[in-house]
Amino acid sequence: MKKLLIISFLCFIFINTFASESAPCGDYGECETFKPQLNNLESLQLGSVTFMNNCYGCHSLKYSRWNRIAKDLEIPEEMLSSNLVYGQTVKLGDRMTGSMDKVTAESWFGISPPDLTLVTRLHGSDWVYTYLKTFYEDSSKPYGVNNMVYPGAAMPNVLASLQGQQILSCKDVPIIASNGGVKRDLSRNDITKEQCGYLKTTPNTGSLSKAEFDEVIYNLVNFMTYVGEPSRADRERIGWYVILFFIIFTSFAYLLFREYQKDYH
């Protein structure tokens, strides 16, 4: 028993040590903050359109159904069928198994693209949001791009026409002293050094501005967050009523307890 406790303690230290050394978003460092708005139907609808037009060709949402999305996002089923559903034999009650055959995908890519229903629950919405924004040009890769969050990702940048071509660039950054401040010379000017590994978008290579592209990615990840847990918005809404019930119940229970206490004295 003693040996088992020692081994468990050492494993705990090992895991936490190595987990603290790796950044949440790989070479990018800390992930960008993403706060979903699961009650924003316009955002969810726009995100669903972006997913169907750019992602569904390879990736599936096999744990979700067409009619559930139509209901939750308040999209008329006729409109969904005519604009977003791919395949004449697909019924609205079917699962969203993707439009690419698994055998064909494996012959093209060597592996079938993963299902994305639970990707935001696996990695977190922050991770997915940052990942989709950090593709950059890399001629050494099969698809000509790499990713800072997930280096070596075997995926093309399908949104490059919107975002534009990103490259890794260098810039001068201030040198931090041991006391946490910025080092300065005798003339009180900041001392800098060249540091590489920063993303830079080549001008006039994308159809959207940075703010517009960020909005597209936000809507897309917002939709993917909803798909990962369709009942989340209801759960969070009902949770406030449950908390309010316990507060009221506890208050009455305390008052009743005080009344019972009077009989003991």
Give CA–CA dist 30/149, Å, rounded: 9
Q: What is the CATH number of the domain that holds 60?
A: 1.10.760.10
Q: Are residues 186 and 231 in the same domain?
A: no
Give CA–CA dist 84/53, Å, rounded: 8
Q: Are residues 111 and 178 in the same domain?
A: no
Residue 10 placed within a domain? no
Give CA–CA dist 194/90, Å, rounded: 55
Count: domains in the chain: 2
Q: How many CB atoms lie within 10 A of CB 202?
A: 12
Residue 96 placed within a domain? yes
Nearest to 58 by CA among 206, 201, 168, 158: 158
Residue 61 placed within a domain? yes
Q: Are residues 109 and 195 in the same domain?
A: no
| Domain that residue 193 falls in | 166-201
Q: Are residues 110 and 85 in the same domain?
A: yes
> Over its length of 265 residues, how does the chain's per-residue pLDDT go in tens digits?
555 445 454 455 444 544 334 579 998 989 999 999 999 999 999 999 999 999 998 999 999 999 999 999 999 999 999 999 977 789 999 999 988 888 888 887 778 899 999 999 999 999 999 999 999 999 999 889 999 999 998 889 999 999 999 999 887 778 888 888 888 888 888 888 877 778 999 999 999 999 999 999 999 999 999 999 999 989 989 999 999 999 999 999 999 988 888 877 5
> What global pTM score does this model have?
0.80
Q: 3-state secondary structure string, 75-116?
A: CCHHHHHHHCCCCCCCCCCCEECCCCCHHHHHHHHCCCCCCC
Q: Are residues 117 and 84 in the same domain?
A: yes
Q: Are residues 101 and 170 in the same domain?
A: no
Contacts of 161 (CB under 8 A, 6+ apart): 206, 207
Hunting for tokens 């922050």 — which residue is that?
Answer: 126
Residue 123 placed within a domain? yes
Residue 18 placed within a domain? no
Amino acid at residue number 187: S
Q: Are residues 39 and 118 in the same domain?
A: yes
Q: Are residues 175 and 96 in the same domain?
A: no
Q: Are residues 211 and 89 in the same domain?
A: yes
